[in-house]
Amino acid sequence: DIQMTQSPSAMSASVGDRVTITCRASQGISNYLAWFQQKPGKVPKRLIYAASSLQSGVPSRFSGSGSGTEFTLTISSLQPEDFATYYCLQHNSYPFTFGPGTKVDIK
Amino acid sequence: EVQLVQSGAEVKKPGESLKISCKGSGYSFTSYWIGWVRQMPGKGLEWMGIIYPGDSDTRYSPSFQGQVTISADKSISTAYLQWSSLKASDTAMYYCARHKTMDPYDYWGQGTLVTVSS
């Protein structure tokens, strides 16, 4: 099975900061990676698919990159509504696996 | 408009059985996989398994294989997640989501909260 790790597990950041979250796969997954945002009590929301394709309606401050085993989600200028937990998901092979999550809170 | 509508919250006792549902509308139900995701209180997302309603091809995470059953009735565009004997540790929010290889987990149901308590 493919294991997904995320770093950091949590971070404190300020409005306007550039934020980078890393997701690593235990083996190559090509670009079969998606990123999700989840706020407390809410349904997860897809931000990025195919590692770097921006979901329609998602602000352009969000971007994704990577291929193979290392991927990043970048928020170019953190906004108040971006404080949330972020998860990656590999769907290259079964069983699909989510990363453990990165909680971004206010500094 | 694509929608996945899940059945309502459940409160059950340990040992009881349960089947929760996820009804798709606004798209071709048989052309997308439906996946199930668990989120235990205060924890992360866990991939449980997935079904292709077109031919009922089903895959499970080893962590959930034998613990739950995923099924679908394409005639009513509904996928199911069921337990034969619930445990307190099954207490969680369960989400369904639509999936295609190049369009993964794009639409999600609203979630079904399952509480198992004696």
What is the pLDDT, as a whole number, of residue A73? 98
pLDDT of A94 strictly over 90? yes
What is the pLDDT, as a whole number, of residue A83? 93
Token representation of residue B106: 């794009």
CA B95-B8-B118 angle, 5° bins = 95
What is the pLDDT, as a whole number, of residue B26? 98
3-state SS assignment for residue B88: helix
What is the pLDDT, as a whole number, of residue A106? 86
Q: Does A36 touch chain B (CB under 8 A)?
A: yes
The residues of B whose Cβ lies within 8 A of any Cβ of A are 35, 37, 44-47, 49-50, 59-63, 95, 97, 99, 101-106, 108-111
Burial class (CB in 10 A: 0-12, 13-18, 19+), B25: exposed
Q: What is the mean pLDDT of residues B71-75?
A: 98
pLDDT of A88 strictly over 90? yes
Q: What is the mean pLDDT of residues A61-75?
A: 98
Residue of chain A whose alpha carbon sits nearest to that of B60: A95
Token representation of residue A31: 């670009």
What is the pLDDT, as a whole number, of residue A107? 85
Mean pLDDT score of chain B = 98
Contacts of B101 in chain A (CB under 8 A): 32, 91
Contacts of B49 in chain A (CB under 8 A): 95
A46 and B60 in contact by Cβ < 8 A? no
pLDDT band at A25 (very low <50, low <70, confident <90, very high): very high
Token representation of residue A71: 């991927």
Which is nearest to A36 in space by CA: A88, A73, A83? A88
Mapping DSSP onto H, E and C, the string for B19-68 reads EEEEEEECCCHHHCEEEEEEECCCCCEEEEEEEECCCCEEEECCCCECCE
What is the pLDDT, as a whole number, of residue B23? 98
Token representation of residue B97: 């989501």
Q: Does A68 touch chain B (CB under 8 A)?
A: no
Of the candidates B44, B60, B104, which has its C-beta nearest A49's C-beta? B104
Q: Does A101 touch chain B (CB under 8 A)?
A: yes
B105 and A46 in contact by Cβ < 8 A? yes
pLDDT of A27 strictly over 90? yes
pLDDT digits (tens, 9 = 90+) for B85-99: 999 999 999 999 999
What is the pLDDT, as a whole number, of residue B47? 98
Which is nearest to A73 in space by CA: A92, A96, A90, A54? A54
Q: What is the mean pLDDT of residues B23-37?
A: 98
Instruction: Please list, residue by residue across A62-101, b when 16 or more beta carbons sit within 10 angstroms of its beta carbon and e when fewer do.
Output: bbbebeebebbbebeebeeebbbbbbbbbbbeebbbbbbb
What is the pLDDT, as a whole number, of residue B57? 98
Q: Does A41 touch chain B (CB under 8 A)?
A: no
Contacts of B108 in chain A (CB under 8 A): 43-45
What is the C-alpha separation between B68 and B70, in angstroms, rounded? 7
Task: For residue A50, give Cα distances in angstroms to A64, B51, B92, B108.
Answer: 9, 21, 29, 18
* Phi–psi pair at B22, nearest 5 degrees: -145, 110
Which is nearest to B42 in space by CA: A2, A103, A28, A12? A103
pLDDT digits (tens, 9 = 90+) for B98-116: 999 999 999 999 999 999 9
Q: What is the mean pLDDT of residues A52-78?
A: 98
B108 and A32 in contact by Cβ < 8 A? no
A55 and B106 in contact by Cβ < 8 A? yes
Mean pLDDT score of chain A = 97
DSSP code, position B7? P
